[in-house]
Homo-oligomer: A and B are copies of this chain.
Amino acid sequence: MCNDTYIPTEITVVLIDTRNPLNIGSAARALANFGVTDLRLVNPYDVAFREAVSAVGGAPVLQAARVFETLAEALADCSLIVGTTAGQGRIAQHPVDRLEAGMAHVRGFDGRVALLFGSEKFGLSNEDLSFCHSLIRIPTVPETPSMNLGQAVAVCLFEIIREGGSPPVRAAFESPDGADVEKITSLLKDVLLESGYTNRTTSISTHEKVRRWVRRLRISRRDAPLVLGILRQILWKFHRQ
């Protein structure tokens, strides 16, 4: 292995509902330190975040950061979604891996990987979590679990580029793009709703459940058009009746 830092994978860092623009700046700096350039922001609280002085050497990353209104849009071209949490145990039906084990799936993954960081105060919402294939936690002590946002970003990226990190776990299949997975989720939700399997009053929580379930299935890139076709056909049939 060479002596220099490298990011073996296409990494995207997504900051969701970030309140403090200084934290966006210091996250941008951490990206730049580890050679990551793709920063995306979903619904940042302060629209003037690009002026954050805390970016220092990360100013180009900050200037190039893209803003999205929804997480689904931000993840459209991402194949593996990894959420971060300060919690232990299971969260919203997801197992939570320690950082070291969790990043083993990221190192050498063939496709764009998104790392999600929630707001400073509340972390990722249940809706955010429903987009994730896996969750990781930095092994902080239980008495003081919650890290500063920029520090959490730095530690996560370091673990990815770390020499002698856990060996990469190759995905057994090519994942479809996030946009296709979201299309499947949306069509399946419609199918469940229109078939009467679920009802409209619970449709928001259903959407999240379906999203988690679709991601747990890990439909392959090759199978995605097939699944989409079947779901569209079912809906067409419903509307013909």
Give A residues with C-beta under 8 Å from B: 3-5, 26, 29-30, 32-35, 54, 56-58, 98-100, 138-148, 150-152, 154-155, 158-159, 161-164, 166
Contact = CB atoms under 8 A, between A and B. Distances in A.
Contact of A5 (B140, B152, B159): B140
A56 B163 CA distance: 32
Given A29-B151, A33-B145, A35-B141, 16 more contacts: A4-B141, A30-B147, A30-B148, A32-B143, A34-B140, A57-B143, A98-B163, A100-B162, A100-B163, A139-B158, A139-B161, A148-B154, A150-B150, A151-B151, A151-B154, A154-B154
A169 to B, nearest CB: 14
B98 A3 contact: yes
Contacts of A166: 164
B30 A151 contact: yes
Contacts of A159: 158, 162
Given A154-B151, A154-B155, A162-B100, A139 B57 contact: no
Nearest to A146: B57
Total copies of the chain: 2
B146 A56 contact: yes
Instruction: List the 3 closest pairs (A to B, CB-CB), nearest first.
Output: A151-B154, A57-B144, A32-B144
Contacts of A57: 143-144, 146
A230 B26 CA distance: 52
A33 B164 contact: no
Given A100-B162, A100-B163, A150-B150, A58 B144 contact: yes
A154 B29 CA distance: 14
**Most B CB within 10 A of own CB, among A4, A144, A166:** A144
Contacts of A145: 33
